């Protein structure tokens, strides 16, 4: 009995511990899903609307991430070769230096766009503009995308965080009409906003559209080939069926431009009215999962770099003044910016070809993917980690 029981005891230990890793494996499999953005299947299945009632969703912050302080005036003047820092401070004390037509003071900081004068003569200083800031906003139905609405309707800008002085103002990347909800990007950089909207780069917008009545094969092909509108011909890059109940049918559509009410007008051109429209993707930026209607999340530097590359923009890097050494100990004109040309060019033409019926004919978002997934992944992950450390369910941007 004893001899037989010893192998059983020794052999029983691995058997008892074998099932233990299973729960951890399942937990790891669920993490990527929570960090992704919403997809078309989430809208059709009802998960998109169900998440609005959950209490453990992404709580956006009420304030933006802090940015580095702007340089001090006497330091910038010294770097420009106008004298030593002590000499510049002496000129400031003597009242011989002004900033924006106001007398300067010791310790004053200057920023991009400030007008500096010495003895009444303008001085050209090289101050880098602030890096662009980008936020993803979940626009609800009933808000208009304008700063000043004559009808005094709620606007999306009322819920956005304030930008510090000198950082510009929020500019929307495209618009969504009053009755359309979903992803809306805002940036403090007018150049970035214009390039993200420009048809030359063909950044896809993906929508979940619920229409009255099912589309026939002929109607789908017309929408893919192009239908005439009052402001020109418009076409979808792809159309995918999503099912539906009764007369309501869901379709996943992509388009590479953003004219006023374009998606709705295209469906109306083939005899179908849109009863609900949700934008779930702009380029490779997905609507963050768990981001409630009327809330926002700020993108971090890595995601902003990916957006700039997709728009064909070069990354802005601080440039040392003439004769000043940079971080690598090199003199000269400063660090060379990353090249991000050709990203997305020509995709607008490709998106308007073919009738693949929703198989993603443009193949567009690959150049915009980050190393960890779609744009916005890193920002949402960072904020969720901050929520776990801080504890609290304070919601912002609402």
H helices of 248-311, in order, are 262-269, 301-310
CA distance 364 to 352: 12
Contact in structure between 88 and 124 (CB atoms under 8 Å): no
- Per the annotation, the verdict on 303 as an active-site residue is no
d(CA 215, CA 50): 27
Q: Give the separation between CA 254 and CA 260, rounded to whole angstroms.
A: 15
**How many other β-carbons are positioned within 10 Å of the β-carbon of residue 62?**
12
Selecting among 114, 177, 191, 300, the annotated active-site residue is: 177
Residue 27, exposed/middle/buried by CB under 10 A (0-12, 13-18, 19+)? Answer: exposed
Residues 237/352, Cβ–Cβ less than 8 Å: yes
Q: Which of 211, 169, 215, 212 minimizes the C-alpha distance to 193?
A: 169
Q: Is 100 helix (H, G, I), strand (E, B) or coil?
A: coil
Neighbouring CB atoms inside 10 A of 347's CB total 22
- DSSP characters for 12-79? HHHHHHTTTHHHHHHHHHHHHHHHSB--HHHHHHTHHHHGGG-SSS----SSPPP-PPPPBHHHHHHH
| Strand-strand pairing, 180-187 and 274-282 | parallel
Task: Identify the helix (H) or strand (E) that includes residue 157.
Answer: none
Q: What is the DSSP letter of 312?
A: T
- Using N-to-C axis directions, what is the helix angle for 377-390 and 301-310, rounded to 10°? 170
- Contact yes or no for 201/311 (Cβ under 8 A): yes
Long-range contacts of 38-41 (CB under 8 A, 24+ apart): 38/280, 38/286, 38/287, 38/288, 38/289, 39/280, 39/286, 40/206, 40/208, 40/240, 40/242, 40/250, 40/252, 40/280, 41/242
**DSSP assignments along 192-225, one per residue:** HHHHHH-GGG---EEEEEEEESPPPHHHHHHHHH
| Enzyme catalytic residues | 177
């Amino acid at each position: 009995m004893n001899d037989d029981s010893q192998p059983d005891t020794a052999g029983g230990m691995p058997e008892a511990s074998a099932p233990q890793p299973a729960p951890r494996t399942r937990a790891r499999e669920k993490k990527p899903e929570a960090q992704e953005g919403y997809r078309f299947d989430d809208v059709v299945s009802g998960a998109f609307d169900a998440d609005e009632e959950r209490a453990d969703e992404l709580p956006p912050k009420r304030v933006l991430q802090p940015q580095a302080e702007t340089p001090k005036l006497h330091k910038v003047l010294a770097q420009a070769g106008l004298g030593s820092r002590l000499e510049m401070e002496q000129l400031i004390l003597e009242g011989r230096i002004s900033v924006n037509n106001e007398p300067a003071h010791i310790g004053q900081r200057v920023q991009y766009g400030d007008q500096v004068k010495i003895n009444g003569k303008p001085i050209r200083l090289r101050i880098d503009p602030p890096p662009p800031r980008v936020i993803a906003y979940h626009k609800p139905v009933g808000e208009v995308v304008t700063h000043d609405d004559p009808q005094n309707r709620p606007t999306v800008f009322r819920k956005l965080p304030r930008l510090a002085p000198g950082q510009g103002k929020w500019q929307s990347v495209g618009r969504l009409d009053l009755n359309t909800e979903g992803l809306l990007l805002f940036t403090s950089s007018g150049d970035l906003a214009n390039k993200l909207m420009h048809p030359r780069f063909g950044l896809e917008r993906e929508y979940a559209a619920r229409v009255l009545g099912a589309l026939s094969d002929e109607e789908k092909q017309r929408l893919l080939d192009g239908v005439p509108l009052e402001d020109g011909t418009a076409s979808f890059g792809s159309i995918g069926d999503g099912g539906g109940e009764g007369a309501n049918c869901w379709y996943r559509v992509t388009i590479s431009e953003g004219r006023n009410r374009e998606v709705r007008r295209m469906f109306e051109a083939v005899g179908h009215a849109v009863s609900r429209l949700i934008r779930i993707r702009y380029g490779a930026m997905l609507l963050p999962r768990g981001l409630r209607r009327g809330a926002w999340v700020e993108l971090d530097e890595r995601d902003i770099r990916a957006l700039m590359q997709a728009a064909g923009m070069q990354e802005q890097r601080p440039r040392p003044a003439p004769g000043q050494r940079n971080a690598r100990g090199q003199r000269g004109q400063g660090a060379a910016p990353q090249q991000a040309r050709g990203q997305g060019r020509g995709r607008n033409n490709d998106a308007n070809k073919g009738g693949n019926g929703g198989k993603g004919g443009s193949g567009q978002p690959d150049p915009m993917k980050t190393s960890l997934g779609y744009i916005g992944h890193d920002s949402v992950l960072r904020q969720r980690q901050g929520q776990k450390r801080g504890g609290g369910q304070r919601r912002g941007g609402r």
